Structure 1
């Protein structure tokens, strides 16, 4: 019996795993990376997209383009399909949490004072909400949120590798950036530094974060026009600090560029943290899924907005929603 167009469409809409595979493929632009992110083999990833295209009867992606991009039909399909994915995530959240009884909160290297104050106030006003905390890798700070691994993420933009239309972002605080230097470095005794003064140093980078995020944090390109000297790639802030400290012992010079609060938490004998006066400040944002309307999540958003408003009243206003320009946290 021949299947009607209506039956084909309904069947395809119900196969959300294939729709999710297409979403990730278009975000990554590469079958191999998409497969790795979904923890499947490349052949399984290809088969999933092929089946979806066969069910719909249209070509959804242009495989000859690098990166892989959606065809016009694929763009139209995903514009509607994103809503189905959001609805499915909301249904899972409702089933798991019976409302807002549990929140999984992601973080990278601990919390700034502003984040801690926000969480303290949230818990004092919502004693019945149970929170679980999960440390994330740099590359997962918003990917884990979109994938449903966490409900809340305190993240630092730019947000790369995900469809930012799925995110609700609220600025919690803005802080200056600092240069992490070995204690015996010639520049370590300075009260402040400019970017030109660290141009000759190799900068420590992330081994896993998206390229756009890394470039913003290492500040590439530099105002001087000089090429950034990329140094060792690390996976954690503690590895980064250790790299700066041990490089001095070997006679070479490394620098780590990070946020002020990260430097305060990562204090370690053998390194110092010097303000970078001409580096663009970095933001810390409360990120949640736009489709998540649970009362606890709404309360966190309201507290973040209140913190942002308080900053504005003290003359330290921020532009909500504006991405940092485009280099490691």
Structure 2
């Protein structure tokens, strides 16, 4: 494209007015400057767009054919400019979010829902995370932000920034007919004779070891019969009355009425929820969701 958009705009206004004086006034330029712009546009195109004679100014056949395309070009240029500015402000684009254990991620998911409502042109893509590899999808650029679920100390790699959001206590998940289901709280040693479903050691070693250590501090080694990566799978066994599990307190139970969650006495072991992103990520969309999380969780825990 040889011509400038300002020359195109000058032609469209002149085609609408068919009068150099009125067109120059609308464009807020001098009439000689308007004449120069039209002459430059005609030279760039190699055609005559306007014909001037004693009767006034008229569009040539080339000008008549060129006018609707010129209007469309200006409209598309305006759309392109708006789109670029909105992308710069993070109002459009793509946000890939990773989340582990959605059943206990209610406040985070509610923040995402509010963000999507305010930014409908941001394509929101949500995918599940596996325990033990929650930062790998970030480092591999498969997601942009993650809700990390960590039992114990949060230790992200140096390339990842993690902002704590909230903590959930570890609770005992029991079948509804369990002998301890009606208790207001139980001690870990009350579960000494139970069969446990836990995280696999090979998939999430730190989580596995924390559970083992908790039980040993209570004076017993847990009888582990099932190692399942997904908390929902562990709760499925609990609901069937086959096992017990130690899980973060859910914001809403995926199996209401089938599983009872009882607080643990004598332990302060908690599950940390953290938003994590690549430290070098300059995406405006990521910056906006981080701002939204700051509003929802204004004070991160220490």
Check whether TM > 0.5.
yes
Task: Please report how far the alpha carbon of residue 217 of structure 1 lies from its aligned counterpart in structure 2 after TM superposition.
Answer: 4.9
Asked whether the equivalents of residues 171 and 285 of structure 1 are also in contact (C-alpha less than 8 Å), the reply is yes
Give the structure 2 partner of residue 180 of structure 1. 173
Give the structure 1 partner of residue 288 of structure 2. 299
Task: Please report how far the alpha carbon of residue 151 of structure 1 lies from its aligned counterpart in structure 2 after TM superposition.
Answer: 1.2
Task: Please report how far the alpha carbon of residue 131 of structure 1 lies from its aligned counterpart in structure 2 after TM superposition.
Answer: 0.9
Taking structure 1 as reference, are residues 126 and 176 closer, same or farther at Cα in structure 2, changes over 3 Å only? same
Give the structure 1 partner of residue 228 of structure 2. 234
In angstroms, what is the RMSD of aligned CA positions?
Answer: 2.9
Q: Within 5 A, what are the aligned runs for 1:15-94? A: none
Task: Please report how far the alpha carbon of residue 233 of structure 1 lies from its aligned counterpart in structure 2 after TM superposition.
Answer: 0.9
State which of 157, 180, 186 in structure 1 corresponds to 2:150.
157
What do residues 104-140 of structure 1 show as CA deviations (whole Å, max 9, x unaligned)? 1112232533112321332244333211111222233
Task: Please report how far the alpha carbon of residue 186 of structure 1 lies from its aligned counterpart in structure 2 after TM superposition.
Answer: 1.0
> In structure 2, how many angstroms separate the alpha carbons of the residues matched to 1:121 and 1:172?
17
Task: Please report how far the alpha carbon of residue 270 of structure 1 lies from its aligned counterpart in structure 2 after TM superposition.
Answer: 3.4
Asked whether the equivalents of residues 220 and 228 of structure 1 are also in contact (C-alpha less than 8 Å), the reply is no
1:265 equivalenced with 2:253 (yes/no)? yes
The structure whose Rg is larger is 2
* TM-score, length of structure 2 as denominator length: 0.60
What do residues 28-84 of structure 1 show as CA deviations (whole Å, max 9, x unaligned)? xxxxxxxxxxxxxxxxxxxxxxxxxxxxxxxxxxxxxxxxxxxxxxxxxxxxxxxxx
Q: Secondary structure at the match of 1:238?
A: helix
Task: Please report how far the alpha carbon of residue 289 of structure 1 lies from its aligned counterpart in structure 2 after TM superposition.
Answer: 1.0
Taking structure 1 as reference, are residues 274 and 225 closer, same or farther at Cα in structure 2, changes over 3 Å only? same
- Unaligned regions of 5+ residues in structure 2, if any? 1-86
Give the structure 1 partner of residue 237 of structure 2. 243
> In structure 1, how many angstroms separate the alpha carbons of the residues matched to 2:246 and 2:127?
24
- Unaligned regions of 5+ residues in structure 1, if any? 1-97, 249-253, 320-329
| Structure having the larger proportion of residues in strand | 2
Give the number of equivalent residue pairs. Answer: 210
Asked whether the equivalents of residues 118 and 304 of structure 1 are also in contact (C-alpha less than 8 Å), the reply is yes
Give the structure 1 partner of residue 301 of structure 2. 318
